[in-house]
Structure 1
Amino acid sequence: MNEPDQIHLRDYVVEAEIGAFQSERGRRQRLRFNLCVDLADPVIGVRDDVDRILSYDVLTDAVASGLADQRYNLLETLAERIAADVLKHAQAKRVRICVEKLDRVPGALGVTLVRQQGRVDTAAGSLSPVVVFHGADIARHTGAVILSPDAPDLPLPSGGNERRVALLALDQAAWSLGGRLGLDVADNRTELDWAIKEARPIVWAPSRMVADVSGLEADPIAVALWLAERLGAERLDIALPEGKDTPSLTTDIPVRRITE
C-alpha cells in the first residue's frame, strides 16, 4: 500500500485563554498541538525547491490564526478551524490534529480530529463579503455584508487606556447600530463566517478581535480596513457624511465611497 508523504508539527505548546467553565475565564492555560498532514503529492522530484512543498509555517500559522480570531469555549471548535486553515492549501490532502489542555488535570485532556479535502468547509475563508464602514446612515444592506461602526462622539479618558476605551466605544456603537437596523451583532470570527455563508448582513463589534493586534490604532476606518483585509473582502465601502473627505488608504482591497 502506498502511504502518503507527511509533514508534522509535534508538541507545540502555546498559552491561551480557552474553556467553557467560569474557572477558565480570565486566565491563560497551556495548549499542546500535534498536527500531521498527508501531502497531496510525494516530495520526490521537488529538487530542493521550497516553493514546491507545503511549508511548516503553514502549520504554526494555522495555530496562531485560529487563536487570534476569538476566545473559544471548546477545543473542538479551535481544532476544526485550524484543520480548515491547513486544508486551504492545495498540497495538503488530509490533516490529523490533536489539541490538549495541559493545566486542567495532572495529565492532558483534549481532542483529536481527522479532516481531509471535502470534509471541512474550507470555502468559508475564501468567500468574499463586503465590509461597510458605517459612518453615515446607510441602512440598505443585503447579502454577505459586514457593517463596521463609526466611533461615537464620546470623551476618552487619559492615562494610557485610551485605545482600549476607544475600542469598547466602537462596540457600543455596534450594538446601537444593530438595534437601529434590526441586525445581529458579532464579536468573533465564527459568527462572521456564519453570516457570510448564510449571505446575511451583520454588524461587527471589533474590540474582542483587535484588542491585541499590535500597531493597529483604534481609528474606526483603520479597524474596518483590518477586517476587510483579514477576510479577503470583495471591497471596503466607506459611508461618510456629505462634505467629509474619504481618507487615503494603502491596501489591495478595493475601496469605494457610498452615499444614501
Structure 2
Amino acid sequence: MADSLYLELVDFEHDIHTGIYSEETGRPQPLRFSVRVKLKEQQFYRPDTPLEQSKNYMDLKFACSEGLGDAHYKLIEAVADHVCETLFLQDARVEEVQVKIVKLALSEANEQIGITLTRERR
C-alpha cells in the first residue's frame, strides 16, 4: 500500500451567499466547511524539509472564504465545486479534494444538513 498525505481543515465557519428560497437570498448564510486534500506524497519529510515540499494549510481556509468571492451560489454543491477547483488550480500536487458543507441556518435540533463532494483531479 502506498503512503498518502492528507491536509485537513475541519469545522471552519464562514458566511456565504447561497440558497434558492426567499428566506435564504439577499444575505449571507453561515456554512461549516470541512476540507480534506490528498497530495502527491514525497518520499520522506525531514526536520529541515521546506514548506514548498508540502502545501500551506491556509490555502484550504482561503478556498472556503475569500476564494469564493461575493458571488451568489444557488446550491451548496456549486460552493463545494468552486472550493475543489480553487485547490486544484493552486497546486498541481493536489490529487483529490473532499469538501463537506453543513448549512447551519437549517439546523433546528443540532442536526447537520449538508453535502459532501469528493473530486479527483482529471
Task: Report the CA distance between 1:74 and its aligned residue.
Answer: 0.4
The alignment-based identity, stated in percent, is 26
**Where does residue 117 of structure 1 map in the other structure?**
121
Query: In structure 2, which of residues 65, 80, 101 is the aligned counterpart of residue 99 of structure 1?
Result: 101
Alignment check: 8 A CA contact 1:5 1:43 kept: no
Q: Is the Cα–Cα contact under 8 Å of residues 66 and 78 in structure 1 kept in the other structure?
A: no
Taking a change above 3 Å as real, the CA distance of residues 52 and 111 of structure 1, as seen in their structure-2 partners, is same
CA distance in 2, matches of 1:71, 1:43: 42
Query: 2:99 corresponds to which letter in structure 1?
Result: I
Please name the residue that 2:58 is paired with. Answer: 57
Q: Distance in 1 between matches of 2:113 and 2:100?
A: 10
- State the distance in 2 between where 1:35 and 1:20 align: 24
TM-score (norm 1): 0.43
- Could you say which structure has the larger radius of gyration? 1
Query: Who is 1:5 aligned against?
Result: 5
For 2:18, the equivalent position in structure 1 comes to 18
Amino acid across the alignment from 1:94: E
Deviations 1:204-242 (A, max 9, x none): xxxxxxxxxxxxxxxxxxxxxxxxxxxxxxxxxxxxxxx
Equivalent AA in structure 1 for residue 93 of structure 2: Q
Which residue pairs with 1:44 in the alignment? 44
Q: Give, in whole Å, the separation in 2 of the partners of 1:78 and 1:43.
A: 34
Q: Deviation string for 1:152-201 (max 9, x for gaps)?
A: xxxxxxxxxxxxxxxxxxxxxxxxxxxxxxxxxxxxxxxxxxxxxxxxxx
Q: Distance in 1 between the 2:34 and 2:43 partners?
A: 21
Aligned equivalents of 2:23 and 2:74: distance in 1?
12
Name the TM-score, length of structure 2 as normaliser: 0.86
Unaligned runs of 5+ in 2: none
Equivalent AA in structure 1 for residue 4 of structure 2: P
> Residue 86 and residue 60 in structure 1: after superposition, are their counterparts in 2 closer, same or farther (change >3 A)?
same
Other-structure match for 1:77: 78
SS in 2 for 1:22: coil
Per the alignment, residue 90 of structure 1 pairs with 92
1:108-142: per-residue Cα shift (whole Å, max 9, x none)? 21111111110xxxxxxxxxxxxxxxxxxxxxxxx
Q: Provide the rounded CA distance (Å) in 1 between the counterparts of 2:43 and 2:75.
A: 35
In structure 1, list runs of 5 or more residues that go unmatched. Answer: 119-260
Structure with greater helix percent = 1
Shift of the alpha carbon at 1:100? 1.2
SS at match of 2:59: helix
Q: Report SS of the residue matched to 2:106.
A: coil
Aligned residue for 2:23, secondary structure, equals helix
Aligned to 2:32: 32
Higher strand content, 1 or 2: 2
RMSD: 1.7
Distance 1:52 1:10 in 2: 22
Change (3 A) 1:49 1:26: same
